Amino acid sequence: MSAEKDLFLSFLRAGGKRVTAERLAVFDEIFSRHGHPDADGIYRSLLARAVPIGRATVYRNLELLVDCGLVRKYRLGRRRFLYEHIHPGQQHDHLVCRDCGQVTEFVSPGIRALQREICRAHGFVPDDHTLQISGLCDVCAGRPPAARPADGEAAHAS
Ligand SMILES: [Zn+2]
Ligand SMILES: [Zn+2]
Ligand SMILES: [Zn+2]
């Protein structure tokens, strides 16, 4: 069993919550690959794997994983949220295309150093940070509007 699953199970036990098949299915789905899905994407993947689960249950259990500290939730635009599983000790930041939704991860030692310096100057002890740059990816920025795919759903995501 993974250390993450161990953590999740102790979190459920400590909170007096039952270990249900649905909870484990949502956990397995978000930890099955590294990505930035939205709740609906996770719901659809579970359906595609014939896991019997309702949309509301998926949403609730994602929030549970966020509370547990194993999953992070990002706001993308006004009404959309993305989720990703966390690798303890490994931080990265995101570039998010507001047109196609593509999410690119980057790590910048310079930004890290600057954050440490700012915290030191304020006598602040950091335990978390979020940096998200939104805008247009190279494809969306370079392509004329008429040539874009109609449904705008990460058509060129890797
Ligand atoms: Zn990962
Ligand atoms: Zn784009
Ligand atoms: Zn990420």
CATH 3.30.1490.190 given to domain 91-158: yes
Smallest-distance ligand from the CA of 104: 3
On the question of pLDDT at 40 being above 70, the answer is yes
Residue labelled with tokens 């579970």: 46
Amino acid (1-letter code) at residue 10:
S
Residue 58: C-alpha distances to residues 42, 64, 65 (Å):
8, 10, 11
Q: Which structure tokens are listed for 6? A: 């161990």
Q: CATH 1.10.10.10 occupies which residues in the chain?
A: 1-88
When pLDDT is averaged across residues 134-156 and rounded to a whole number, the result is 69
Written out in words, the top-level CATH class of the domain with range 1-88 is mainly alpha
The 3-state DSSP class for residue 78 equals coil
Q: Which structure tokens are listed for 32? A: 């099955």
Task: Kindly report the pTM of this predicted structure.
Answer: 0.78
Q: CATH 3.30.1490.190 occupies which residues in the chain?
A: 91-158
61 Cα to the center of ligand 2, angstroms: 29
Smallest-distance ligand from the CA of 107: 3
Smallest-distance ligand from the CA of 32: 1
Spatial distance between the Cα atoms of 110 and 131, rounded to a whole number of angstroms: 13
Per residue in 93-124, pLDDT (tens digit) is: 999 998 888 899 999 999 999 999 999 999 99
Ion ligand 2: residues, CB < 5 A: 97, 99-100, 102, 137, 140
Smallest-distance ligand from the CA of 2: 1
Spatial distance between the Cα atoms of 71 and 31, rounded to a whole number of angstroms: 9
